[in-house]
């Protein structure tokens, strides 16, 4: 790849360079769609600890981080492998055991907060949670928040709307993101990223973060990705590292590339029921697979090929999903 400004790194190099213990990490994708699993597995391999996770619409990748002992606290609106687990099991076990701090926002409020963070705002006024338990109950107390400088001192502040006397607004703090991690269909060495299909919260967290790591299905020359600038989603100005990781979102879907791996999600659902079975799962698919290529070998070429998206659909019609 001929370039004087390459940001291309391996998963190991990117995580070691930009992810540190105690960081606030925002994760791209949506539940079981285009999740940055290859990067998450590398974070677990490197045993990063005391991470503060901005989950938004979260899935099994964040559950992996929780089960592996990487997470101190999480702001979340939803965490499940939809269709396979009602609530991610390691998340639930950690919360019930008092081992994980978590704060609960509504999905729309959390994504609004990410957009405000991308705009450089310290908070954003909303009304969405008013009148619900999300406004009346806190998952993390003020006293506990004082112990964690990465957490805002308040879940929110409710005050009178300065422009509409008598109305109230809920002022939600925006996250101070150290690292955003996301997976894309295409990127180039200078950090230009092309997302195909829904972008979810990815663009906002990438612009809000101090550092952004993007794994991609296809790595192309800078000149090639510039031929159609109208199709590009994210400037290289926002990206610190590009990791070429085909199938880097497996077992989640990557639109236009491959579909969900339903049997794998079912396997994880069973394995994550107990910590002992979860640990064996991590040993099999992460510890014993030091490289992303080793993980793909463990999954198997025939199994991956069966998930290849059908041109014109973006997914696999008739695929067995359970």
**Burial code of 83-121, b = ≥16 C-beta within 10 A, e = fewer?**
ebbeebbbbbbbbeeeebbbbbbbeebbbbbbbbbbeee
- Measure the N-to-C terminal CA separation of the chain; round to a whole number of Å: 40
DSSP state of 177: -
CA dihedral 89, 92, 94, 97 (to 10 degrees): -130
Element at 305 (helix H, strand E): helix 301-305
Would you say residue 224 lies in a domain?
yes
Q: Is the pLDDT of residue 242 over 50?
A: yes
Say what the pLDDT of residue 145 is.
96
pLDDT in tens, 134-173: 999 999 999 999 999 999 999 999 999 999 999 999 999 9
CATH number at residue 57: 3.40.1080.10
pLDDT in tens, 71-130: 999 999 999 999 898 899 999 999 999 999 999 999 999 999 999 999 999 999 999 999
Would you say residue 132 lies in a domain?
no
Would you say residue 45 lies in a domain?
yes
Residues, the chain, total? Answer: 322
User: For the residues 236-251, what does the mean pLDDT come to?
Assistant: 98
- State the pairing for strand pair 51-58/24-27: parallel
Would you say residue 128 lies in a domain?
no
Would you say residue 109 lies in a domain?
yes
Would you say residue 65 lies in a domain?
yes
Would you say residue 227 lies in a domain?
yes
Q: 92 to each of 29, 80, 96, 261, 271, how far by Cα in Å?
A: 21, 10, 6, 23, 14
Cα–Cα distance, 90 to 65 (Å, whole number): 9
pLDDT in tens, 8-20: 999 999 999 999 9
Q: How many domains are contained in the chain? A: 1
Q: 196 to each of 29, 101, 167, 226, 305, how far by Cα in Å?
A: 12, 34, 40, 16, 20
Domain carrying residue 108:
8-123+176-301
């Amino acid at each position: 790849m001929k370039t004087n400004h390459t940001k291309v790194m391996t998963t190991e190099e990117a995580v070691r360079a930009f992810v540190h213990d105690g960081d606030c990490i925002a994760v791209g994708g949506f539940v079981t769609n285009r999740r940055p699993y290859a990067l998450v597995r590398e974070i677990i391999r490197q045993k990063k600890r005391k991470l503060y996770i901005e989950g938004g619409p979260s899935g099994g990748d964040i559950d992996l981080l929780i089960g592996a002992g990487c997470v101190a606290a999480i702001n979340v609106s939803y965490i499940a492998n939809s269709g396979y687990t009602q609530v991610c099991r390691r998340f639930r076990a950690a919360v019930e055991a008092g081992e994980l701090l978590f704060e609960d926002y509504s999905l729309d409020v959390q994504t609004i907060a990410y957009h405000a963070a991308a705009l450089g705002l310290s908070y954003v006024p909303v009304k969405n949670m008013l009148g619900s338990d999300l406004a009346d109950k806190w998952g993390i107390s003020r006293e506990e928040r004082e112990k964690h400088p990465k957490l805002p001192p308040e879940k929110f502040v409710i005050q009178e709307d300065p422009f509409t006397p008598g109305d109230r607004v809920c002022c939600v703090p925006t996250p101070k993101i150290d690292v955003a991690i996301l997976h894309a269909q295409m990127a180039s060495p200078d950090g230009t990223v092309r997302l195909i299909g829904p972008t979810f919260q990815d663009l906002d967290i990438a612009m809000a973060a101090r550092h952004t790591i993007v794994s991609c299905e296809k790595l192309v020359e800078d000149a090639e990705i510039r031929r159609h600038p109208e199709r590009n989603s994210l400037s290289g100005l926002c990206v610190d590292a590009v990791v070429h990781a085909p199938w880097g979102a497996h077992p989640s879907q990557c639109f236009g590339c491959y579909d969900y791996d339903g049997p794998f999600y079912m396997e994880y659902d069973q394995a994550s029921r107990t910590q002992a079975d979860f640990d064996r799962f991590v040993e099999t698919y992460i510890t014993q697979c030091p490289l992303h290529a080793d993980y793909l070998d463990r999954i198997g070429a025939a199994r991956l090929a069966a998930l290849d998206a059908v041109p014109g659909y973006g997914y696999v019609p008739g695929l067995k999903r359970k």
